[in-house]
Amino acid sequence: MLPCLNKKLFGVECLGCGLQRSAFLLIKGDFAAAFALYPAIYPLAILLTFIGINFFLPVKYYAKIIWTLGILTGVTMVISYYLKHF
């Protein structure tokens, strides 16, 4: 696994710390451990899946759905980061 450059240089985890290990656990099928490690993995996976589907099958309200999923993912990342550190 690649080390977090932010954590290595500054000693503080970034908003993406745990994403790589969580994605690996998700691929292995350990869904609970993936969520425990990085709770934003599921909104991010839904966002990326929707972007991939839209590439082949255009969706009517694509921009609105992408914005909603992006905001949901960002909020989940910030909340999980806050709960992890404070």
- pTM here is 0.85
DSSP string for residues in 32-76: HHHHHH-TTHHHHHHHHHHHHHHHHS--TTHHHHHHHHHHHHHHH
Dump pLDDT digits (tens) for 18-48. Answer: 999 999 999 999 999 999 999 999 999 999 9
pLDDT score recorded for residue 78? 96
- Amino acid making up residue 82: Y
What rounded mean pLDDT belongs to the chain? 93
pLDDT score recorded for residue 44? 96
- Tokens 């500054």 identify what position? 10
Q: Given pLDDT bands bounded at 50, 70 and 90, which one contains residue 86? A: confident
Distance, CA of 26 to CA of 9 (rounded, Å) = 28
- 26: tokens are 């998700």
